[in-house]
Amino acid sequence: MGETTHHRRPWTVAAATAMAVGVIVGGIVGPLGSGTAWAQASGPGERPSVDHGVAADHSWTAPDHTVTAAPSELLDDALADAASGTGDTAPVNDRTAVRVATWRVDGEGKPDIDTTTTTVAAAPAAIAAAQEVPGVLAVAVDARTELLADVTEERSRVLPLTAVSGAEQNTTVDPLTGYQWDMASLAVDAAATTTRGAGVTVAVIDSGVDGTHPELAGRVLPGIDYVDPANAGATAGWADQNGHGTHVGGVVAAARGNDVGIAGEADKVTILPLRVLDANGAGYISDAASAVVAAVDRGAGVINLSLGSPTSSSVLANAMAYAQSRGVLVVAASGNGRSYGSPTSYPAAYPSVLAVASIGPAGAVSPFSTAGSYVDLAAPGEQILSTVPGGYQFMSGTSMAAPHVTAAAALWLSIHPGALGTAAGAVLTSTARDAGPAGRDNDYGFGVLTLASIPVSGAPGAVSSTLSMVVDRSVVTAGGQAIVLAIGRRSDGSAPAGQLVTITTVTRGVTSTRVVTLDGNGMAAAPVPIPATTQISASWSLSVATMPVVVFSSPALKVKRSKAAVKVTLKQAQGQLVRLQQKKDGRWVVAAKAKAKRATLSTRWHTAPGTYRVAVSSVPGQVGLVTSSWRVR
């Protein structure tokens, strides 16, 4: 029948549809040349609120139609896609290997993937056998596509580690930085003086990352090699026979100030290499999905996917949903198909993914960069000099644009310990510099990446600044939304007007993120979905606040007022602290309080003339829920 491999999936991804498609890498190689800073974009336009909350799909537990479909039908679909260019780049014939993937549930309720490699002639029998596997959810014929690269003579020119000389020695520290127009345009030197990405793990799902390169040595973890599983152990995922993955890794994390080569954007991050592409830049979509799940489970805060396919796959879509449900940011190249009519590229087009287009040194969208309604940001992607095994190389593509955004997210996360990667994505889209038509457009998305959200070391008020929150129960809507009021103060008591605050909610495992701007009083309000027990956190460049809040669906909290008394009834109340607050000298003080020891609390308090409200909290000293105020005369 052929060679069979077995991979355990630690998460329940959804059942695959009839066919898992292959992977196209979004990198092309362009000419050598020095760059200039891009032209500043026009003024900011209107931007819709950013909400990256997407629930994971657990429909994987039901077998799909591929379990009962005729084996010949599944194979014919694969052959038709291959012949049309949807799957393989060349038609499949009897001498071409076919990989049949079986998705099943094991005895512990976890999904397993078995892959069998066989010939076209033997494929129907292999598919039929896969359909009989106990617990099978889906059977798929994996397809492959190839690296989107312009393999020109320039690609073969590698600037070696030992031969950086003459005009290439532009500086005495990191001598090739003079060629890095991308880092200069982003003002990375200023932003990187903070934490430089320390404490953040970035997963690079690509052709491997060379952990022996002097620019990356000591910061590349043992990963996973899906192309050659025999490459295991401490250097798994390091074998990069193409160079693309190491190039991406260098944009993110090449060492700064080491007197060698270039400088990366976030050089203190740790790289998790997950190799899914071979020497030709080709790979299987099932491996890419496996790598996303592995990256999440191994603690990555940001995942970079400088690859794509014109065909959507439920396997990959659910891997994206899994990452989103865990608060991990996925950044993907938008695609290099502009000259082909900008076909939609996946995973970039999935709603939970931050899709990145490319710009050149002049700030204009690159001639190859795919346009689409799913584009979120644009970043430098032309003539990008970065690391490859044995030296350095210029490459161009949305593949090169994506890691600039990935690194920016890592910088933000490193100064917000405990914050979610998805929050970083929302901040970056909100601080982008508008370009093209005012507001969001299909070329630049919300605009060109800036590092405005990354404070320079020693920024005013960076020490002992506070951020607090109040959830206003009085404005809960029928849809289960309430208003969160964020209140920020610097250490000197001043209000940080214009400061961006990211509000993140986690409800039943689903993460949602919004970004608000503090006004002249250091306050901002945002509606958030809180239909049940919800963890709410807020973060900014100066401080982080986290508040567990229990929000009860109406009519769990009832407040009945009379002229001289108020009766409060609270259901699902055990452990909650209920306080009657009175406003005195502009401040709310506790007039009476009660702690619920049972599921229902009912209490009655007398009220003298004054202004009152009722507050409920599970944490003493915090206001979790508040009613609107009323006056007793």
Q: What does the block give as tokens for 626?
A: 């508040």
Least reliable range by pLDDT among 78-82, 567-571, 619-623, 629-633: 619-623
Least reliable range by pLDDT among 230-244, 308-322, 362-376, 390-404: 308-322
pLDDT at 354: 96
Angle of helix 398-414 relative to helix 244-253, nearest 10 degrees?
40
Bridge partners, residue 333, by sequence? 356
Model pLDDT for residues 606-628, shown as the tens digit of each residue: 898 999 888 876 544 444 566 77
Dist. CA 572–CA 386, nearest whole Å: 57
Least reliable range by pLDDT among 170-179, 281-290, 437-446, 562-571: 170-179
Q: What does the block give as tokens for 280?
A: 């030709």
Global pTM reads: 0.67
Model pLDDT for residues 463-478, shown as the tens digit of each residue: 346 777 766 554 444 4
Task: Give the residue, 10 or 529, on which the prediction is more confident.
Answer: 529
Least reliable range by pLDDT among 9-23, 99-113, 119-133, 494-508: 9-23
276 close to 206: Cβ distance less than 8 angstroms: yes
pLDDT at 249 over 80: yes
Q: Among 583, 588, 575, which Cα is nearest to 617's?
A: 575
Helix (H, G, I), strand (E, B) or coil at 616: strand
Least reliable range by pLDDT among 50-64, 274-288, 555-569: 50-64
pLDDT at 149 over 50: no
pLDDT class for 64, splitting at 50, 70, 90? low
Model pLDDT for residues 22-58, shown as the tens digit of each residue: 333 444 443 222 222 212 222 222 333 333 333 333 4
pLDDT at 570 over 70: yes
* DSSP secondary structure, 14-66, as one string: PPP-S---B-EE--B--------PPPPP------PPP----PPP-GGGS--GG
313 close to 16: Cβ distance less than 8 angstroms: yes
pLDDT class for 82, splitting at 50, 70, 90? low
pLDDT at 488: 77
Residues annotated catalytic, as ranges: 206, 244, 399
Domains (range + CATH), the chain: 3-31+45-145 (no CATH), 168-430 (3.40.50.200), 466-549 (2.60.40.10), 557-632 (2.60.40.10)
pLDDT at 263: 94
SS3 content of the chain, % helix, strand, coil (to 5): 20, 30, 50
Dist. CA 224–CA 100, nearest whole Å: 21
532 close to 551: Cβ distance less than 8 angstroms: yes
440 close to 48: Cβ distance less than 8 angstroms: yes
311 close to 134: Cβ distance less than 8 angstroms: no
Task: Give the residue, 512 or 297, on which the prediction is more confident.
Answer: 297
Q: How far is CA 296 from the centre of its chain?
A: 10
Model pLDDT for residues 265-278, shown as the tens digit of each residue: 999 999 999 999 99
Q: What is the mean pLDDT of the chain?
A: 75
pLDDT class for 596, splitting at 50, 70, 90? confident
pLDDT class for 293, splitting at 50, 70, 90? confident
Dist. CA 25–CA 309, nearest whole Å: 8
φ/ψ of residue 44, rounded to 5? -70, 145
